[in-house]
Amino acid sequence: MNWDDLRFFLAVAAAGSLSGAGQQLGVNTTTVLRRVASLEDDLGARLFERERTGYRLTAAGEKLVEALEPVDRRLSALPRDFAAAGEGAEGTVRIAAGEVIASALLAVELPAFREAHPGLELEIVTDPRLSAIGQAPRIGNPLKDVDVALRLARPTQGDMLMRKVGDMAYGLYASPAYLEARGRPGQMQDIAGHDLIGFPRSETPLGPVWWFSRAEKSARIALRSSSVEARAAAARSDLGLAALPCILGDVDSRLVRVFGPDVLGALEMWLMARNDLAQLAHVRAVMEFVVDAVKRHRARLEGREHEVRELLPRPRPNH
C-alpha cells in the first residue's frame, strides 16, 4: 500500500468531492481519483459512494477515517508544535473564522492587540467551513492547520477546548428602493409575494435558517448563497429581502432593517483550540483577545445598537 494514498483519501473525505480535494492538495481531479482507486484496490474495499451531491463515505470508509484521524491530527500539528516551543508570549498564531467575524470583529480590534502584544503575530484565516451553519463536520478537523478557531455552531470534535463566547444575531434587510416599490412587511404574513435572499438548502435549520425555511413557503426565492457578502450585495442591488448578520446589516447605510433578531434569531459563536496548544502563552493571549473582542462588540453582535429607520412609503401611482 502506498501510504501517501491515505492523504488523498482524507482530503476527499473532508471535502466531499474530488475537485475540493484536488484544490486542497494542489492536484487535478484525475490524480485524486486514481489515488483513491489505488487505495481501494489495496484494501479490497469500496471507500466512497458517488452521489449527486458528491462523495459519501461507506461503512469501510468511516472505519478508515476513524483510524486515521488521530494520526492525521498529530502529524499536521507537528510544525506548529515545534514552532511554539520556547516562544513564551511571542510567535505566530493562526486563527480561523468566517469572513464577517474576521472583518467586522477581529480586524477592528487588532490595533489594541498589537500594542499589547508587539511580539505576537496574528494570522487570520477565513474558512468557509467555520462560517457554515450547523454542526462542525466530524471529517476534516477545523483545527488541522490553525491554532484557534471561531465557529458559528457548537463543535463536535473531541480533543479540544470549547467555549461559547456569544451570539451572532440576524435580521432581514432590503434597500430603500426595493421597499418603496414592493412595500415593507410588518409581520410574518406580509412576506408573501416578496423576493427573498437567503441560505442554501444544505444549511442546517438553526436560527435564521429555520426562519428562512418557513418564510420561503409563501415568498419567491431570488437568491440562495452561503456568502454573506453576496447576499448583502444582492440586497443593495434591490434584488429582495436578505437575511444578514446584524453586525453587518445595521451599519450599511444602503440597507434598511425590516425584521430584527427577535424574529430571525441568532447563531451561537464557539471558540475552539486544541487542549495542548491552549496551554501555551501566545495561544492563550489570542483566545483572550477573541473573548474580549466579543464582549466589547456584544451589542453590535446581538443587534441591540440598531435604531429602526422608518421608511415612509410614498403613494403608489394609479394605473
- Domain ranges in the chain? 4-73, 81-166+267-301, 168-266
| Per-chain mean pLDDT for the chain | 84
Residue with cell 434584488: 239
Could you give the CA distance from residue 124 to residue 49 in angstroms, rounded to a whole number?
35
In sequence order, which ranges of the chain are alpha helices (DSSP H)? 4-15, 18-25, 29-43, 59-84, 99-101, 107-116, 128-131, 176-182, 207-215, 228-236, 246-249, 261-264, 281-296, 298-301
3-state helix, strand, coil in the chain (%, to 5): 45, 20, 35
Does position 136 have pLDDT exceeding 80, yes or no?
Answer: no
SS3 217: coil
Write down the pLDDT at residue 26.
Answer: 86
> Which CATH number does 81-166+267-301 carry?
3.40.190.10
- The residue among 210, 184, 187 whose CA lies nearest residue 199 is 210
Asked whether 125 and 96 are in contact (CB, 8 A), the reply is: yes
Using one digit for the tens of pLDDT, what is the confidence trace for 60-110? 988 888 887 766 666 665 555 555 544 445 678 889 898 899 999 999 999
26: which 3 cell numbers? 494542489
Does position 311 have pLDDT exceeding 80, yes or no?
Answer: no
Superfamily of domain 168-266 in the CATH hierarchy: Periplasmic binding protein-like II (3.40.190.10)
Least confident range of 163-167, 269-273, 276-280: 276-280
Does position 12 have pLDDT exceeding 50, yes or no?
Answer: yes
Tell me whether domains 81-166+267-301 and 168-266 share a fold.
Answer: yes
- pTM (predicted TM-score): 0.70
> Which CATH number does 4-73 carry?
1.10.10.10
- The residue type at 143: L
Could you give the CA distance from residue 265 to residue 17 in angstroms, rounded to a whole number?
32
Highest-confidence segment of 10-19, 26-35, 133-142: 26-35
Least confident range of 33-37, 50-54, 155-159, 243-247: 155-159
Does position 144 have pLDDT exceeding 70, yes or no?
Answer: no
Counting residues of the chain whose pLDDT is more than 90, the rounded percentage is 47
Higher-confidence residue of 310 and 27: namely 27
- The neighbour count for residue 259, using CB atoms within 10 Å, is 21
